[in-house]
Chain A
Amino acid sequence: MTLFTLMMSSAMAETGKLGFWEKLNPPVDISTHGHLIDWLFNYTTALNLFFFSLVCAGLFGFSFLYRRKRHPKPYYTYGNKKPQIMLATVIGVAVFVGIDMNITRMSNNDYIGVFTNWPSESEDILRVEVLGQQWAWNFRYAGKDGLFNTDDDVVTLNDLRVPVGKKVVFQVLSKDVIHSLYFPNARRKVDAIPGRLTRLWYELTKTGEYDIACAEMCGTYHYRMQAKLTVYTQEDYDNWMNHAQEHAFQTNDPENAELFWGWAWQ
């Protein structure tokens, strides 16, 4: 065991990289509520391991104990005696109450209490409109006037920048086919559907650069539909926003109809 650990650590030291298993952890969680999903995943895994080991114990244990050589005379039973039926029922109910209703309740509480508990209009939130298209993400910030689809909107392509520690609400739409706005680091995704607004909100906790992906098959270059998420401190964000705002004032051409793909915030 120690030898194995030694070999592993020396191999890792040599390459300076993660070990085989460490590479299979989900990407680092940067949101306030991503841990709810990770926790539920791990909890379900623990329960699953318990029940699957019961199945394996039965499968491999009985295969060993009752193989022909060891147990030549089978026990003649239909399995319809009262205790036998009781046992099967108890197992069924135990799985249902022990795993299913348990995780359903937790998941439902999280979903209603957190993920679809939309921040109210009076809160200090950042609003972003997202338009998916083959094969890019357009992001729109309301700009100084706080209204969408006006001349001063800050519009970016494949480049989302948000401040840390502030609730961000997205309204998502698609121009052509169905896409899915996927933030691996926040453990969240929501479909972008033509003709139907969908919403998503989160609050991020770590600054840095992360990936945004499209998770729904959207055509040949689906795999290239990648955007960057930059998480700033509030100060850096304000600097960037001011700068972007200036830039928008100078370059936004009110005559350009293409610019006005946004919609009134709903």
Chain B
Amino acid sequence: MAFYEQPIHPKPTTFLSKYMISFDHKVIGKQFLWYGIFFLFVGGLMALMIRWTLAFPGVPFPVIGKALFPETGGVIPPDTYAMLFTMHGTIMIFYAITPILIGAFGNFCIPLMIGARDMAFPLLNMLSFWLAVVSGVILLGSLFTPLGAAAGGWTSYPTLSTLVGSPGTGQTLWSLAIFILGASSTMGAINYITTIITLRAPGMGYFDMPLTIWGLWLTAILNAIFLPVLGAGVLLLIFDRVFGTTFFLAGAAATSGSGDPVLFQHVFWIFGHPEVYILILPAWGIVSDLLAFFSRKPAFGAKATALSMTTITILSTLVYGHHMFTTQMSPLLTQTFMTLTMTISIPSAIFFANWLGTLWKGSIRFTSPMLFSLGVVFVFGLGGLTGLYLGTVTTDLYLHDTYFVVGHFHYTMAASVLLGGFAAIYFWMPKMFGMMLSEFWAKVHFWITMVGLNGVFFGMMMVGYAGMHRRLYNPFVYEFMQNMIPMNKMITYSAYLMGAAQLIFVVNFVHAIFFKKEKASDNPWEVGTLEWTIPSPAPHYNFDKIPVVKCGPHELGNPNLTTGRDFQYQTENLVEA
């Protein structure tokens, strides 16, 4: 199937060419992983500060508060609070989840799982990472500008994000950082799409690809189509801020001519709704594979799962209007967007049924990747179903911009994607670094994280239903919200619990990479996809000889096998009765 020869160049020898400006997809994947974990830490710390303010308004932030906010004696000031939630959202979405799921595992898994020696465009791949670094530096740098970082929410709606509402350089730098990151992700996306189409090993049809690859592929397609839309939007925003145009200014704010602030919302959500699926599709793919691997039977209805994900990808481009119901669009449009939004649940229900079908009559091993995958099924079930309240226009009139929305999208984007990412890290760790992570501590990590995240995100939905709206520095200035102080404290305690659980992961991860002596075997999980046919960690240029694929990715538990194994590699002929 491969369209062209894949040459083997000599191994890089210097530190710089080996670890810094490497063209090797495995190294770039690891670079993205570290990058993502670093930003996950930054964004997580910001989340804890936000939660602290909501539970204990006016109380100094413990330990580091005095050093960070000396003027107020450690209390987080209201303008900083706005910067914190803006940067938390931006960092988590664009700088933590995207690099981990798409950057790290996209780069690492795609060539290995389709039997290629590297990406189609290794140079572009390297550039994609370093552009992301430039973008990250600009974003973090914006925190140190005189008026501080962007503070208009991660959606940065004009006119708040124009000079009318945010005079500082922070918002301009934010837009610039997003623009550059968009370019970086588009480069990655083009690379993924091309690699998957042209470099699949001989014999590998699209439905012989693991579902992980399906998820990453569909994500890349959405990225390539919709990130440029966001890029256009923030570019116009930069024009409004720097060159005095009025694309998004209207009313008294527009000194000449008149634009429309709602235009930005359209542009933003045309990108923004697919973005939700950009983040979750890789996790869905990974979970679909892992459920099959650890139930020791083929993925139930794998073709239907792949096609359902494709259908969702297409539908995701047609529903963005449900983010804008309160801007009062015409009832004809609300009707259309509402109905289209609801159709997404058909494919979703089908692959949920397939996930449960995979578990049905399996022989389930509760390893750490499996636990995290089962966790995804649980939290995505909750996250998906609570989306219904927000897709129907009348309940959205009440719930829009309340904590119910915050809880809902954290369940779908944060909880599901994070658990999926951890499943991937625990699963591919041996192939990436040649070491296994401690199973015991992985399970401890899982259970504490589950308790913490459900406490946080379910709690958010409850206070949201009780009427607490978003982005409030001190919600308790409202009389009716004073009832919610205990619940907010509970959410905050859960958040700190969840944060603490991540330390277990960090220790486990760092220990395995730098201090563990014992090497992992080539195929510790006993599965048959192509990356497990080669040594651990994956060698230079992956495959000595390009493999020839003869069967599907989930050949487990075949009763006709006589090899003593309960699985077969994709390079083996399917054993039939």
Contact = CB atoms under 8 A, between A and B. Distances in A.
Interface of A: 18, 20, 23-27, 36-37, 40-41, 44, 48, 51-52, 55-56, 58-59, 62-63, 66-68, 71-80, 84-85, 87-89, 91-96, 99-101, 103-104, 106-108, 110-112, 115-116, 134, 173-178, 180, 182, 184, 187-191, 193-196, 198-199, 210-211, 213, 215-224, 226
B251 A73 contact: no
Contacts of A173: 251
B235 interface: no
Contact of B328 (A78, A108, A187, A199): A199
Given A104-B339, A194-B159, A199-B328, A217 B364 contact: no
Nearest to A195: B250
B519 interface: no
Given A190-B326, A226-B478, A92 B347 contact: yes
Which 3 residue pairs across A and B have the least CB separation, nearest first? Answer: A195-B250, A79-B300, A194-B251
Given A48-B386, A219-B160, A194 B328 contact: no
A63 B377 CA distance: 12
Chain B interface bracket (under 10, 10 to 19, 20 to 34, 35 or more): 35 or more
A108 B353 contact: no
B338 A107 contact: yes
Interface string B159-178: 11000110000000000000
B385 A51 contact: yes
Given A104-B342, A111-B393, A222-B472, A48 B159 contact: no
A37 to B, nearest CB: 5
B557 interface: yes
B465 interface: yes
Contacts of B339: 104
Contact of B394 (A40, A91, A94): A40
Contact of B350 (A67, A89, A226): A89
B317 interface: no
B526 interface: no
Contacts of B338: 104, 107-108
Given A76-B559, A88-B350, A175-B252, 7 more contacts: A18-B483, A75-B362, A76-B297, A176-B164, A177-B164, A178-B261, A216-B157
Contacts of B484: 23-24
B475 A218 contact: no
24 contacts: A23-B487, A25-B466, A27-B480, A40-B395, A41-B389, A48-B388, A59-B356, A63-B366, A71-B364, A73-B559, A74-B557, A75-B362, A76-B557, A80-B303, A92-B349, A96-B343, A101-B342, A107-B338, A108-B335, A175-B251, A194-B252, A215-B469, A216-B157, A217-B471
A59 B363 contact: no
A88 to B, nearest CB: 4
B260 interface: yes
B501 interface: no
Interface in B248-269: 249-254, 258, 260-262
A171 B557 CA distance: 66
B298 A223 contact: no
